[in-house]
Amino acid sequence: MKVEGRQYRTIALAEDGWSIDIIDQTALPHAFVTRRLRSLDDAAEAIRSMRVRGAPLIGATAAYGVCLALRHDASDTQLNAAIKALAETRPTAVNLAWALDRMVKTVGPASAEKRSTTAYAAAARICADDVAGCLAIAKHGARLITECWKTRGDATPIQVLTHCNAGWLATVDWGTALAGVYLAHDRGVPIHVWVDETRPRNQGAGLTAWELGQHGVPHTVVVDNAGGHLMQHGQVDMCLVGTDRTTADGDVCNKIGTYLKALAAEDNDIPFYVAAPYASIDWSGQEP
């Protein structure tokens, strides 16, 4: 996605070919700051302090954290220590454990001489898969938005309410719930987004509103409790939210306050969609 006309991803290999550049989300929306990760401790701190936020991005950062840990010591001891340290950074999104498990399965069998190279390739693949998955979500979401707009039968903007941050800042690129908003907007669908402030971290007001503004999507920040009022008064056409964890049978765990939006949407007969990337699904021992 673009920031002031320049293309960015939330996480990327730096020009030196080994360190990792991230967008420091703790500085948003007041300043746009990039930060370089050069060690396992840097990666762990970035996740723990929420310099990187959002389930898919946390997983990608953890994968690159393993890479940084193995650059000078590719032993089993170092690999196990890195996995343990990164696993303890955040207790929420399943993507963290998923990414670390994928790194262990890919990197573990490699010889010590090839582990670092294997790790960087595996982390890059995790990022590429996330972008591809989010683009697929964007296409599906844009179709739902466009159909809802056409069904309504007038030219006024479709009104979308979202919660927390499920945009490109939460992923490597594109986003989940907001990905369809961006693609629909780019395709010419008139759209307006109601943005919940989502305390205490204010991902809505601080991140969602910022990235919507960067993309040129009209939006309005509202307090969390205004969501039900807007729905009740016919000012919301559909709700789009992300998910930190989704069970195989469809139950969803997300930012506090999502439940209230779902209840209000059900009561007011408003479509409520959850964008769940594959890696957010907790299969609980089931085969996918």
Among candidate residues 196, 224, 244, 267, the one labeled active-site is 244
103, 83 in Cβ contact below 8 A? Answer: yes
Query: For residue 92, which of 70, 141, 59 has the smallest C-alpha distance?
Result: 59
In single-letter form, the type of residue at position 169 comes to: L
- Answer whether 129's CB lies under 8 Å from 80's CB: no
The alpha carbon of residue 54 and the mean position of all alpha carbons in its chain are separated, in whole angstroms, by 4
CA nearest neighbour of 138 among 167, 172, 170: 167
* H/E element, 180: helix 179-186
**CA atoms of 161 and 192, how far apart (whole Å):** 9
> DSSP assignment of 60-117, as one string?
HHHHHHHHHHHSS--SHHHHHHHHHHHHTS-SS-HHHHHHHHHHHHHHTTS-HHHHHH
Residue 264 backbone phi and psi in degrees, to 5: -65, -40
244 carries an active-site annotation: yes
Cα torsion through 106, 109, 112, 115, rounded to 10? -10
Q: Which residue from 53, 69, 243, 277 is spatially nearest to 163, judged by alpha carbons?
A: 243
Query: What are the Cα distances from residue 156, in Å, to 25, 149, 175, 273?
Result: 33, 9, 25, 21
First to last CA, the chain: 31
Q: What does the chain come to in residues? A: 288
By annotation, the residues acting in catalysis are 244
